[in-house]
Structure 1
């Protein structure tokens, strides 16, 4: 490991791996297991914030696959999630790939940053594909919520409603 990371905690190394797109270091840290995948630095950024904002796809995918990963951590200064930061990626294809990964992992498209903006508000005006990804994710989330409501309201005997009469 380089001199700059000597003596750093596994949590700090995790942030460095995400910033530097160092997949090998990240996997080594995950194997060791002594870390908090949601660890925040002084600015409130997590490894997921860094991987998403820098478009480090492989590292991003590994972080998202970690069981303990919070896909919607909010940083301190901007009050931004990784999805907010992904919208600032200049390369449209890379931006869509990062956004798609975050949405597949369940990123919340309704969280507002310090300016009251959702990630949708930050999509560059010339990007016509990312809004479609957001609409699809929102539709799936709505459908999933409706399924939960339907499951709770099935009016089947034994539903716990307490309205059954004993004979």
Structure 2
């Protein structure tokens, strides 16, 4: 494991970069790993603080550190919905942050949703991110509900396509059988 001059591992540096929104440190870590997407994603996906099992994305989301989030989400292979000890995904924590900073938090939540974060994930309290939205933040509530609806429509469309494909396969078999018998 690579250590910095002060003895911190790359993982410790990564978590510190996420906590402090330190993009310079994050870019240094990327450079130390040769911008290798696999090594970077492995480091990001496996580095947890021991108490709450938070990863870099958790810290950045909880603190509203968009610049670090943006860099992390651009790294191929980074798990976008890791869960900490409480079952919170970074999206859960971004919503909680949005309760303190509505405009900036909503922007961050939107960024997570655009990157593919799943708003249907429930934490250990059986609550989805939308369940943590303050009553007066209708914009955020609508954003999360729209994302859930879009996912449900995609699933329904996928199921319909599968049924159609199965139906076409059945028809193809029938056509093949009919032509074989002629």
For these two proteins, the number of residue pairs brought into alignment is 163
Where in structure 1 are there 5+ consecutive unaligned residues?
Answer: none
Partner of 1:74: 83
Q: Which runs of 4+ in 1 moved over 6 A?
A: none
The answer on whether the counterparts of 1:37 and 1:68 sit within 8 Å (CA) in structure 2 is no
**Gap change, CA 1:155 and 1:111, over 3 Å in 2:** closer
The answer on whether the counterparts of 1:109 and 1:119 sit within 8 Å (CA) in structure 2 is yes
Partner of 1:8: 8
Residue of structure 1 aligned with 2:92, choices 62, 84, 98? 84
Partner of 1:53: 62
Partner of 2:112: 102
Higher helix content, 1 or 2: 2
**Gap change, CA 1:92 and 1:155, over 3 Å in 2:** closer
Stretch of structure 1 that moved more, 137-146 or 95-104: 137-146
Question: CA offsets per residue over residues 60-96 of structure 1, 9 Å max, x none?
Answer: 11111111111111111x2211111112220101110
Partner of 2:20: 20
Shift of 1:53: 0.5
The answer on whether the counterparts of 2:130 and 2:145 sit within 8 Å (CA) in structure 1 is no
Larger Rg: 2
Shift of 1:117: 1.3
Where in structure 2 are there 5+ consecutive unaligned residues?
Answer: 34-38
Give the TM-score taking structure 1 as reference length.
0.86
Report the secondary structure of 2:127's partner residue.
Answer: coil
Q: Is residue 2:123 matched to residue 1:116?
A: no
Give the TM-score taking structure 2 as reference length.
0.80
Partner of 1:138: 148
Question: CA offsets per residue over residues 112-131 of structure 1, 9 Å max, x none?
Answer: 21222111111011111001
